[in-house]
């Protein structure tokens, strides 16, 4: 891409052929000062600048000056730069279709010059003198400056006072201008940026080099808080049918669900280095968060997508803020998977990992071992044939495996979530790990574990997805409403796929005869009632496609251990080990955290204890 840029630099500025002009997305290029800032930055970047300085007066309305150290414009070409449809960046339709520069329309400077007083001074690479072009008079005169270009834009919208009235306060316009620079700065860590307003330096981001350049720039621009609450992401997807041309790569950082905000103001998405607001990408990101972020919370991210330029059309919107992908499904999937993968990796995995031999010890019941009768007692407790195992009310089976037996000192240092110490108020598990104290919300954590297990089972049942069920030796009967009875009858097949067997016992009584094997410890009646309630709201034919995850989440909630249930230390340890092996275990199904670390240092601070 850089070599393409470099070769474009030395090309003359020429008028586009008329048939190409008509192909270019027309419309208003400059809506407010920030749009002019963005266009001028685009030009500086296309010119290979390494350092860019933006100066503004009155939020950019009185002055925007963008100075760069790029290749410059030879003086005989300066007047062409202000001409409409004149560009050095493309000259044919095929170049338009594979454009890798920010600019390609030859419109921006002409548009800005028509609504403001413009002046360009430039010294081209290899030339000994610099020239200044006055955009109003067309006068060209020599000036002194080093290599590069400065474009000055004064009195924006001076000739269209109505337009000027639509502008917000200077402070607001300035904020938009700074945001425009911030967007570009996040795309180009290799370029230094500084922003001045009313003669004062207000932002400065130094050039970064080396493999950590992007991380450094993200820290500088978005702050350490963003870095702490976000995860690295690096994803490549090769189309097995195509060559390198069909590769989609996505990298950057994505915020944890806890870092989500009430506004969508920290969502930066770049396609081949260009900041875009794209529906496909936004939807893909949103759906990747579906499982861990509920309600109106907005995820945060800075993501970079790279794709063959021929597979994306950047010429769809006059301000280039939107793009169109040739295969939007492919891109949607790549982005969704990239984010899902990052979110699925529990952050507790970043703590020292458990030794492999122990991590492999199965602590979980073999989910869905079919037709293994389970007795459900009045209070929903499960008892069953143990075959040397014990079934607890947590639904965890274990033999005398070394990991489940007395976890010793080793557990404290090796297991990311440590060794269980106690249960607090029937709600929290307290555990000790190498960092200090771990507090776990046991219901939230178990809910996630059950949910992930259900999802995995549901999708791994081959051709017809479904949960394996376990018959109850004594069916659980309950007094049902007419709707519940009707729903149970109408949705037999759906219920079956959910591992439930619910039949009418009498006109007003339903009997639950089987429940999903992995929810064997749950309350069969409660489970049946809530699933029927949800099914009643949906159309039978589509419910499993559309509402599958919601249904499974509801079921998980019923299957998860309730507050106020006393757990033994063994049970608590088993839960911690399961959390360590479960995707997305850091959040419950509603996006709340499942565990917190309280470090020794924090405890020391609490007790004013110096170490």
Ligand X SMILES: Nc1ncnc2c1ncn2[C@@H]1O[C@H](COP(=O)(O)OP(=O)(O)OP(=O)(O)O)[C@@H](O)[C@H]1O
Query: Which residues contact Mg ion (rule: CB under 5 A)?
Result: 42-43, 103, 108
Least separation in angstroms between residue 2's CB and ligand X is 16
Q: Which does 512 bind (CB under 5 to 8 A by kind): ligand X, Mg ion, none?
A: none
74 makes contact with ligand X (CB under 6 A): no
Task: Pick out residues in 130-149 that bind ligand X (CB under 6 A).
Answer: 149
**Cβ 193 vs Cβ 54: under 8 Å:** yes
**Structure tokens of 250?**
């996505």
Q: Which of 118, 278, 258, 381 is nearest to 267 (CA)?
A: 278
Tell me the residue nearest to ligand X as measured from the CB: 103
- Tell me the three state secondary structure of residue 306: strand
DSSP letters for 144-181: ---SEEEEEEESTTTT-HHHHHT---HHHHHHHHHHHH
Task: Pick out residues in 4-23 that bind ligand X (CB under 6 A).
Answer: 13
Least separation in angstroms between residue 53's CB and ligand X is 12
Closer Cβ to ligand X, 88 or 469, answer by number: 88
Q: Which does 149 bind (CB under 5 to 8 A by kind): ligand X, Mg ion, none?
A: ligand X
Least separation in angstroms between residue 29's CB and ligand X is 7
**Structure tokens of 34?**
């920030």
Q: Report the alpha-carbon distance of residue 85 to residue 13 in Å, rounded.
A: 10
Q: Which does 87 bind (CB under 5 to 8 A by kind): Mg ion, ligand X, none?
A: ligand X
Tell me how crowded residue 136 is: count the other CB atoms within 10 A of its CB.
Answer: 10
Find the binder of ligand X among 16, 36, 100, 104 (CB under 6 A).
104
**Cβ 57 vs Cβ 136: under 8 Å:** no
- Contact pattern from residue 534 through residue 573 relative to ligand X, giving x for each residue in contact according to CB under 6 A and a dash for the rest: ----------------------------------------
Q: Which does 272 bind (CB under 5 to 8 A by kind): ligand X, Mg ion, none?
A: none
**Beta strands across the sheet bearing 267-271:** 230-237, 248-255, 301-307, 267-271, 274-275
Q: Which does 269 bind (CB under 5 to 8 A by kind): ligand X, Mg ion, none?
A: none
**Cβ 512 vs Cβ 525: under 8 Å:** yes
121 makes contact with ligand X (CB under 6 A): no
Closer Cβ to ligand X, 49 or 288, answer by number: 49
Q: Quick one: which segment of 36-44, 207-215, 435-443, 566-574 binds ligand X (CB under 6 A)? A: 36-44
Tell me the residue nearest to Mg ion as measured from the CB: 103
Q: What is the largest CA-CA distance in the chain?
A: 98
47 makes contact with ligand X (CB under 6 A): yes
**Structure tokens of 600?**
């020794």
Q: Report the alpha-carbon distance of residue 48 to residue 8 in Å, rounded.
A: 10
Q: Report the alpha-carbon distance of residue 274 to residue 364 in Å, rounded.
A: 47
587 makes contact with ligand X (CB under 6 A): no
419 makes contact with ligand X (CB under 6 A): no
Least separation in angstroms between residue 274's CB and ligand X is 11
Locus of tokens 């495996």: 401
44 makes contact with ligand X (CB under 6 A): yes
Q: Report the alpha-carbon distance of residue 258 to residue 590 in Å, rounded.
A: 11
Tell me whether residue 339 is exposed, middle or buried, using C-beta atoms within 10 angstroms of its C-beta: 0 to 12, 13 to 18, 19 or more: buried
Q: Tell me how many residues contact ligand X (CB under 6 A).
A: 24
467 makes contact with ligand X (CB under 6 A): no
Find the binder of ligand X among 35, 87, 582, 597 (CB under 6 A).
87
**Structure tokens of 559?**
């299957």
Closer Cβ to Mg ion, 35 or 358, answer by number: 35
Least separation in angstroms between residue 494's CB and ligand X is 53
Q: Which of 588, 344, 583 is nearest to 442 (CA)?
A: 588
- The binding site for ligand X (CB under 6 A) comprises 13, 39, 42-44, 47, 68, 70-73, 81, 87-89, 103-110, 149
């Amino acid at each position: 891409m850089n070599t393409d840029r470099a070769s474009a630099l030395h090309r003359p500025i020429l008028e586009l052929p008329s048939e190409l002009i008509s192909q270019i997305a027309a419309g208003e290029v400059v809506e407010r000062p920030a749009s002019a800032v963005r266009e001028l930055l685009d030009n500086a970047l296309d010119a290979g600048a390494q350092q860019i300085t933006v100066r503004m007066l009155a939020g950019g309305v009185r002055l925007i000056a963008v100075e760069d150290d790029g290749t410059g414009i030879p003086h005989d070409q300066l007047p062409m730069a202000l001409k409409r449809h004149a560009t050095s960046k493309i000259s044919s339709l095929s170049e338009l279709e594979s454009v890798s520069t920010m600019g390609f329309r030859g419109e921006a400077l002409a548009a800005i010059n028509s609504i403001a007083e413009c002046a360009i001074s430039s010294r081209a690479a290899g030339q000994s003198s610099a020239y200044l072009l006055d955009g109003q008079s067309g006068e060209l005169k020599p000036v002194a400056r080093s290599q590069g270009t400065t474009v000055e834009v004064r009195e924006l919208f001076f000739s269209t006072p109505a337009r000027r009235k639509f502008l917000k306060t200077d402070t607001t316009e300035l904020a938009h201008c700074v945001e425009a620079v911030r967007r570009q700065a996040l795309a180009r860590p290799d370029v230094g940026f500084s922003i001045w307003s009313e003669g004062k330096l207000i932002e400065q981001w130094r050039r970064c080099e080396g493999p950590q350049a992007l991380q450094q720039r993200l820290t500088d621009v978005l702050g350490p808080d963003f870095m702490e609450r976000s995860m690295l992401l690096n994803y490549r997807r090769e189309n097995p049918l195509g060559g390198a041309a069909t590769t989609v790569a996505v990298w950057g950082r994505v915020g944890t669900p806890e870092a989500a905000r009430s506004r969508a103001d920290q969502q930066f998405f770049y396609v081949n280095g260009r900041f875009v607001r794209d529906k496909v990408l936004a939807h893909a990101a949103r759906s990747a968060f579906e499982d861990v972020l509920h309600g109106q919370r907005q995820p945060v991210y800075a993501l970079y997508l790279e794709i063959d330029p021929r597979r994306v059309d950047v010429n769809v919107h006059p301000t280039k803020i939107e793009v169109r992908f040739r295969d939007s499904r492919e891109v949607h999937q790549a982005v969704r998977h990239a984010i899902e993968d990052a979110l699925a990796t529990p952050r507790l995995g970043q703590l020292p990992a458990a030794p492999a031999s122990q991590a492999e010890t199965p602590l979980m019941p073999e989910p869905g071992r079919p037709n293994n009768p389970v007795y459900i007692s009045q209070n929903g407790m499960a008892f069953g044939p143990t075959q040397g195992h014990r079934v607890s009310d947590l639904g965890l089976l274990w033999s005398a495996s070394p990991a489940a037996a007395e976890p010793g000192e080793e557990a404290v240092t090796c297991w990311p979530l440590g060794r269980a110490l106690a249960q607090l108020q029937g709600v929290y598990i307290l555990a000790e790990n190498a960092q200090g104290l771990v507090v776990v919300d046991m219901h939230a954590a178990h809910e996630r574990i059950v949910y992930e297990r259900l999802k995995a089972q549901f999708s791994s049942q081959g051709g017809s997805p479904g949960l394996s069920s376990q018959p109850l030796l004594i069916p659980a009967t309950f007094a049902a409403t007419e709707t519940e009875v009707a729903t149970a009858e109408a949705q037999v097949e759906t219920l079956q796929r959910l591992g439930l067997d619910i039949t009418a016992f009498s006109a007003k009584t339903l009997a639950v005869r089987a429940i999903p094997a992995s929810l064997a410890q749950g309350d069969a009646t409660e489970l049946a009632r809530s699933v029927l309630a949800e099914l009643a709201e949906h159309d039978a034919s589509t419910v499993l496609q559309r509402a599958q995850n919601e249904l499974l989440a509801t079921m998980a909630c019923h299957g998860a251990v309730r507050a106020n249930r006393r757990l033994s230390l063994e049970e608590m340890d088993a839960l911690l080990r399961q959390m360590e092996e479960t995707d997305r275990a850091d959040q419950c199904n509603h996006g709340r955290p499942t565990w917190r670390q309280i470090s020794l240092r924090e405890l020391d601070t609490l007790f004013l204890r110096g170490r």
